[in-house]
Chain A
Amino acid sequence: MAMAMARWRQRLLSSACSSSSSSAAAPQALLRLASSALSRQSSSRGFAAAPDDTTPFVVDIPVPYAGHRCDPPEQRVETSAKELVDFFKVMYVMRRMEIAADSLYKAKFIRGFCHLYDGQEAVCVGMEAALTKEDAIITAYRDHCTHIGRGGTVLEVMAELMGRKSGCSLGKGGSMHMYNKEGNFYGGNGIVGAQTALGAGLAFAQKYNKQNAVSLALYGDGAANQGQLFEAMNISALWDLPVIFVCENNHYGMGTAEWRSAKSPEYYKRGDYVPGLKIDGMDVLAVKQGVRFAKEHALTKGPIVLEMDTYRYHGHSMSDPGSTYRTREEISGVRQERDPIERVRKLLLAKEIVTVADLKNLEKQAKAEVDEAVNQAKEGGQPETHELFTHVHVKGLKQLAYGPDRKEVIVPLP
């Protein structure tokens, strides 16, 4: 048992993914010359030419994909300077946002349950790079960053966390219930595993309406043992629904490590007849490539399961210190070896797309953006009392709500 645990810990910290700079030599060298010329020019003007450059170049993906009943995609992905800088920006904003949520929770501005996503940013950012807004995403309760990825603003998220009416769900949902209809983001679900059936429903609607889009149903390694997931996989495979089941495997189902809860922790294989792909979830480019492959598969051949090998730095939620079931060395080890933002930073610097000073600027901007959003959200008002009764039913249902003495009508429900 101890041996198995030790091996498992070792796998978590595996540094096979740390060396982003040791990718293929020749095309890079050329690029380095070209971009360094550019950056010498642009450094005097500050932050200009290179980050907007959309010329594609290829990057190797160090950690190999593992396929189940399918041939994994290539270990190389096309990207561009602009895309990498955007990745950095967005992931950094998400990171700052989650850290801000942490301090707000400790200062009692945020109450109840607060599940933070820091460490896992590469998953939602990489996904968005391979999808369009026509595709639908549904996830569980660790949804703050997914909401941002789908087009939500930091202000909306912060206000919702603090229960203000400027929140994305008007303050009535909270941390676990963030939705964005225009962005085709279906939440935000509190009960573990229930969202996978909804995800099958989203894909059913896409097939019914003959849309050329896919639905992604995200769930965690804890939810991977839910029966309804297998029911959803069965009906998706049976009717060829364009759904991608994404298991965000952060190796802990709250306090229970995966080797203690799953007989087979190879979640990408759990679909059995549904093909699967295991992806290094801390590498945003690997995620992008994997999701693009999966989207093609879902549109042509049927559902597919993706397992994102990722990690969360915080505990399960803010009430969980996160250190009773894992060591601090493990957490800091993963942060050192596999942090998604650091990896992109190293790549950006190695390819000389930006300088260290540029990155510092970006970080400052991100911090400012998040701080601004937090301040604005704090100023936001609480929802009015009558909002208690709105949106229970859609307009048209005649019902009156009474005050506590049951005599005075306080509001007619819309």
Chain B
Amino acid sequence: MAQKVLVPCSSSSSCGNVQFSPSRVHTQAIAFGGGLSQSSSRKNKSLALKAVAAKGETSAPVTAKSGHEILLFDALREGLEEEMARDPTVCVMGEDVGHYGGSYKVTKGLAEKFGDLRVLDTPICENSFTGMGIGAAMTGLRTVVEGMNMGFLLLAYNQISNNAGMLHYTSGGQFKIPVVIRGPGGVGKQLGAEHSQRLESYFQSVPGLQMVACSTPYNAKGLMKAAIRSDNPVILYEHVLLYNLKERIPDEEYVLCLEEAELVRPGKDITILTYSRMRHFVLQAAKTLVERGYDPEIIDIRSLKPFDLFTIGNSIKKTHKVLIVEECMRTGGIGASLRAAIVDNFWDFLDGRPECLSSQDVPTPYAATLEDATVVQPAQIIVKVEQMLQGLI
């Protein structure tokens, strides 16, 4: 039951119930995207008191007993259900989303509630059901296309790049494509190379697309709702291993801003930019770093395209050092683009080169030890941060 819609995104909406932190410097606001959100300072209030950021630390603005505890996949489901109930043009399509309830239970119960046409079980034809979702979106339906695993959407690359990304432009603005393409990606637990792909690096240069990555139940639900309400084609990246993350989220309805980054832990020594599963690794590493006396500022960039250069820039101006921790490959990943953007925009504020920890440029092996060696581990984050803060690199 929605009582009040909290939309912690600025532009025209007022952020009256959010406190403005005086430590944020608004220099050259016009160059970095205008007045973006101040909601992240809300988290300042609750987290600044604690010295250690725990792994399951809440990112959601709730007090101890209000709100409800929920797992991430259920938060996605809640967001989807609320949007489907609110707007009859929202429909979901994908493999086993209907009667089976979704291979990760994100659409569980929705087919019984909304019917087979609105929660459509498709045959295994990614290219054409993604195309179908895009074609339907051209007429005004708000389709949510689920890839059972993000990697399968490579079969639909043509539809996503040429149709979802370009149709608004090539039609001179006549058609908009309010499609949401979502699914789990990232390296799981020994799923094999083809089921451990990180598609954010492949889609990031497609013009016309917007990309967001969720990492906690709070932002998963908020981003799902925002993506559905957006008139642009949005790709929502979920992570296979984060579906069972538990958190307490507000009971009231809330919609997050798609283009906004989340300040997870304020600090002054170094800016660590991360997203998706790596956020939790960074938080784990941060425990140790704080014990050793360092004060990292951790930002979950959330918006993979476009980058929230405003939040990132303000952080870099404060700390002068930046480390990017990502799960993409080193070559052509999100980190590569982010490094370029940081160098272009904040060169004068950097004390050293922006560092990046990314996955190895290898197909993900099956063996557990090798798989662990493919992705960044908390120990590596600790070593890297110490090296940077001790001036060794």
The tally of residues in A whose CB lies under 8 Å from a CB in B reads: 57
Q: Is the CB of A204 within 8 A of B208?
A: no
Of A204, A391, A409, which is within 8 A of B169 by CB?
Answer: A391
B313 to chain A, nearest CB (A): 12
Within 8 A of A (CB), among B149-164: 158-159, 162-163
Q: Is the CB of B127 within 8 A of A188?
A: no
Interface mask (A193-214 → B, CB under 8 Å = 1, otherwise 0): 0101111111011111100000
B97 to chain A, nearest CB (A): 14
Q: Is the CB of A234 within 8 A of B31?
A: no
Q: Is the CB of A396 within 8 A of B230?
A: yes
Q: Is B259 an interface residue (CB 8 A)?
A: yes
Question: In the complex, A171 Cα to B173 Cα: how many Å?
Answer: 11
- Please choose the segment from B130-138, B316-324, B354-362 that sits at the chain A interface, where 4 or more of its residues have CB less than 8 A away: B130-138
Contact A191:B135 (CB < 8 A) given known A234-B123, A238-B123, A394-B168: no
| B131 cross-chain contacts in A, Cβ below 8 A | 194, 196-198, 200-201, 228, 232
B44 to chain A, nearest CB (A): 22
A195 to chain B, nearest CB (A): 8
Of B127, B140, B232, which is within 8 A of A231 by CB?
Answer: B127
| A2 cross-chain contacts in B, Cβ below 8 A | none
| B137 cross-chain contacts in A, Cβ below 8 A | 201
What's the count of A-B pairs with C-beta under 8 Å? 171
Within 8 A of B (CB), among A197-252: 197-202, 204-209, 227-228, 231-232, 234-235, 238-239
Q: Is B210 an interface residue (CB 8 A)?
A: yes
Interface centre among A180, A201, A234, by most chain B C-beta atoms within 10 angstroms, is: A201
Contact A173:B125 (CB < 8 A) given known A228-B131, A409-B30: no
Q: Is A390 an interface residue (CB 8 A)?
A: yes
Q: Is B23 an interface residue (CB 8 A)?
A: no
| B230 cross-chain contacts in A, Cβ below 8 A | 394, 396-397
Question: In the complex, A396 Cα to B141 Cα: how many Å?
Answer: 19
Q: Is the CB of A399 within 8 A of B306?
A: yes
Contact A391:B207 (CB < 8 A) given known A138-B135, A201-B131, A205-B139: no
Within 8 A of A (CB), among B10-67: 11, 30-34, 36
Q: For residue B177, which residue of chain A has the nearest CB?
A: A394
A279 to chain B, nearest CB (A): 25
Q: Is B202 an interface residue (CB 8 A)?
A: no
Of A196, A394, A398, which is within 8 A of B34 by CB?
Answer: A398
B119 to chain A, nearest CB (A): 12
Question: In the complex, A204 Cα to B133 Cα: how many Å?
Answer: 9
| B36 cross-chain contacts in A, Cβ below 8 A | 398
Of A179, A189, A227, A239, which is within 8 A of B174 by CB?
Answer: A179
Q: For residue A391, which residue of chain B has the nearest CB?
A: B173
Interface centre among A177, A191, A393, by most chain B C-beta atoms within 10 angstroms, is: A393
Of B31, B33, B128, which is within 8 A of A235 by CB?
Answer: B128
Q: Is A149 an interface residue (CB 8 A)?
A: no
Q: For residue A177, which residue of chain B has the nearest CB?
A: B170
Q: Is B289 an interface residue (CB 8 A)?
A: no
Q: Is B91 an interface residue (CB 8 A)?
A: yes
Q: Is A190 an interface residue (CB 8 A)?
A: yes
B99 to chain A, nearest CB (A): 14
Q: Is the CB of B138 within 8 A of A173?
A: no
Chain A interface helix/strand/loop/mixed: loop
Of B118, B132, B172, B345, which is within 8 A of A173 by CB?
Answer: B172
| A391 cross-chain contacts in B, Cβ below 8 A | 168-169, 172-173
Q: Is the CB of B122 within 8 A of A198?
A: no
Q: Is B175 an interface residue (CB 8 A)?
A: yes
| B158 cross-chain contacts in A, Cβ below 8 A | 191, 194
| B210 cross-chain contacts in A, Cβ below 8 A | 393, 397
| A377 cross-chain contacts in B, Cβ below 8 A | none
Q: Is the CB of B122 within 8 A of A201?
A: no
Question: In the complex, A172 Cα to B133 Cα: how many Å?
Answer: 24
| B208 cross-chain contacts in A, Cβ below 8 A | 392-393
Q: Is B291 an interface residue (CB 8 A)?
A: no
Question: In the complex, A61 Cα to B387 Cα: how many Å?
Answer: 84
Q: Is B171 an interface residue (CB 8 A)?
A: yes
Q: Is B117 an interface residue (CB 8 A)?
A: yes
Q: Is the CB of B135 within 8 A of A186?
A: yes
Q: Is the CB of B132 within 8 A of A169?
A: no
Q: Is B231 an interface residue (CB 8 A)?
A: yes
B53 to chain A, nearest CB (A): 29
Interface centre among A199, A200, A209, A228, by most chain B C-beta atoms within 10 angstroms, is: A228
Interface mask (A374-406 → B, CB under 8 Å = 1, otherwise 0): 000000000000000011111111111000001
| B207 cross-chain contacts in A, Cβ below 8 A | 392
| A186 cross-chain contacts in B, Cβ below 8 A | 135, 138, 175
Q: Is the CB of A181 within 8 A of B175?
A: yes
Interface centre among A174, A180, A232, by most chain B C-beta atoms within 10 angstroms, is: A232
Q: For residue B207, which residue of chain A has the nearest CB?
A: A392
Q: Is B237 an interface residue (CB 8 A)?
A: no
A139 to chain B, nearest CB (A): 13
Q: Is the CB of A169 within 8 A of B172?
A: yes
Q: Is B129 an interface residue (CB 8 A)?
A: yes
Question: In the complex, A278 Cα to B128 Cα: how many Å?
Answer: 25
| A331 cross-chain contacts in B, Cβ below 8 A | none
Q: Is the CB of A398 within 8 A of B11?
A: yes
Question: In the complex, A199 Cα to B169 Cα: how many Å?
Answer: 19
A382 to chain B, nearest CB (A): 14
| A200 cross-chain contacts in B, Cβ below 8 A | 128, 131-132, 135
A165 to chain B, nearest CB (A): 9
Q: Is the CB of B259 within 8 A of A208?
A: no
Of A168, A394, A395, A399, which is within 8 A of B172 by CB?
Answer: A168
B37 to chain A, nearest CB (A): 10
Q: Is the CB of A197 within 8 A of B168?
A: no
Q: Is the CB of B169 within 8 A of A172?
A: yes
Q: Is B198 an interface residue (CB 8 A)?
A: no
Q: For residue A201, which residue of chain B has the nearest CB?
A: B135
| A396 cross-chain contacts in B, Cβ below 8 A | 230-232
Question: In the complex, A174 Cα to B171 Cα: how many Å?
Answer: 9
- Extra contacts, 20 of them, besides A177-B171, A202-B136, A409-B31 (Cβ < 8 A), are A167-B172, A179-B172, A179-B175, A180-B174, A181-B175, A190-B162, A197-B128, A198-B132, A201-B136, A202-B135, A205-B135, A235-B125, A391-B169, A392-B207, A394-B231, A394-B232, A397-B210, A397-B258, A398-B34, A398-B36
Q: What 4 pairs between A and B have smallest CB-CB spacing?
A: A201-B135, A197-B131, A198-B135, A170-B172
- Interface CB pairs A-B, < 8 A, 16: A169-B171, A172-B169, A179-B175, A180-B174, A189-B162, A197-B135, A198-B134, A206-B139, A208-B118, A227-B127, A231-B127, A238-B123, A397-B210, A398-B259, A400-B34, A406-B345
**A contact set with B: CB distance below 8 Å:** 136, 138, 167-174, 177, 179-181, 186-191, 194, 196-202, 204-209, 227-228, 231-232, 234-235, 238-239, 390-400, 406-407, 409, 412
